[in-house]
Amino acid sequence: MNDSLPGHFRIPIRVGIQNSFHNNLKGLDAYSRHKKLINDYFLYYNQTNNKFKKEENVQTEYDILKKEFKFIRTEKDNDDSTWEKRIAKKYYDKLYKEYCLANLKYYKEDKIALRWRIERELISGKGQFICGNVDCTETENLHSWEVNFAYKEDNEKKNALVKLRLCPKCSYKLNYKKIKQLKREEKKRRKHKHISDNRGSDSDRHSRKRKHHSTETEYKYENIDYVKQLIDEQGKEKKKVKFNNESSNNCSEKTEIENINKSEDDYRTIASEIWSKSLPKEDDEEKTKEEEYDEYFADLFS
């Protein structure tokens, strides 16, 4: 058999394979990419490729290559030498500690049970593309909530900050206690406004009373509105943290510039420090790889 593949199947080593893999995933939604990465993982590491049934008549050149050019697996084959293998394994390993599931049956008693997902749930997307409440199968309008998961492993107590993806109704159950507090605060504001409206002349009171009745429905939030309010607050908090981090980085850059403008006597020392910081290190290279993975998984781990 000729070692070279037909012209339209030739893929340059290293960068070419990575680019080909990216191109084959273009246009796929997050769940389709999830299915492909899971299939790739079990193909490369578990010698199975039927975790999801492939749609008929939808094959890329990559799928044809994978199907037609098979090989006998050896220890050498189990390394992470190719982009497909690395990305599939990285994704699969990351899935286990990224999301959890919740039992919200006793949410009114503020009793919420969390647990890790089993492999079957991880593969199907339960808790990632399907609501993370064990009794819910909703797939639309899911939102990620960060929860502190306290669990016991090998008789050792551990804590982890993980994501719990829930639909709006289940999000209300998760935040039931917080929403009750928001409702009490809203009720106090309405009461305070009502007292203020009762002060003044009769004509003013009559005018404000009509206005109060006309806008009363604005205060009668539905449960879903409180959930949206919490989501907005969460988004603002994330933006605030991001802004503070950027401000901190800008301050560091400003300080470095000021140091460069110091006296001529310190110039050589400062220049040496700057150049030493600029030298590439193994840790920096590994960090770059991690950032590349995080960027690639961004829409999958929303």
Q: Does residue 257 belong to any structural domain of this protein?
A: no
Q: What is the pLDDT of residues 67-81, one digit of tens each?
A: 544 444 444 544 555
Q: Any residues with CB less than 8 A from the CB of 244 and at least 6 apart, and which? A: none
> Average pLDDT of 28-39?
84
Q: Quick one: 161 and 186 in the same domain?
A: no
Q: Does residue 116 belong to any structural domain of this protein?
A: yes
Q: Quick one: 193 and 165 in the same domain?
A: no
Q: Quick one: 66 and 115 in the same domain?
A: no
Q: Is the full-model pTM beyond 0.85?
A: no
Q: Does residue 251 belong to any structural domain of this protein?
A: no
Q: Quick one: 84 and 103 in the same domain?
A: no
Name the nearest CA neighbour of 95 among 71, 128, 65, 64. 128
Give the range of the structural domain holding residue 112, as residue numbers without chain letter. 99-174
Q: Quick one: 188 and 168 in the same domain?
A: no
Q: Quick one: 165 and 133 in the same domain?
A: yes
Amino acid at 200: G
Q: Quick one: 169 and 192 in the same domain?
A: no
More confident residue, 244 or 137: 137
Structure tokens, 80: 């992470």
Q: How many domains is the chain partitioned into structurally? A: 4
What CA–CA distances, in Å, run from 85 to 4, 38, 43, 66, 97?
Answer: 22, 11, 9, 12, 20
Q: Does residue 244 belong to any structural domain of this protein?
A: no
Q: Any residues with CB less than 8 A from the CB of 158 and at least 6 apart, and which? A: 150, 151, 152
Q: What is the pLDDT of residues 248-286, one digit of tens each?
A: 666 666 666 666 565 555 666 665 665 555 555 555 555
CA dihedral 40, 45, 48, 52 (to 10 degrees): -30
Q: Does residue 237 belong to any structural domain of this protein?
A: no
Q: Does residue 131 belong to any structural domain of this protein?
A: yes
Q: Any residues with CB less than 8 A from the CB of 284 and at least 6 apart, and which? A: none
More confident residue, 61 or 297: 297
Residue 288 has pLDDT above 50, yes or no: yes
Burial of 129 (0-12, 13-18, 19+ CB in 10 A): middle
Q: What is the pLDDT of residues 146-194, one digit of tens each?
A: 999 988 888 889 898 999 999 999 999 999 999 998 888 888 888 777 6
Residue 12 pLDDT: 42
Q: Does residue 226 belong to any structural domain of this protein?
A: no
Q: Quick one: 118 and 138 in the same domain?
A: yes
Q: Does residue 1 belong to any structural domain of this protein?
A: no
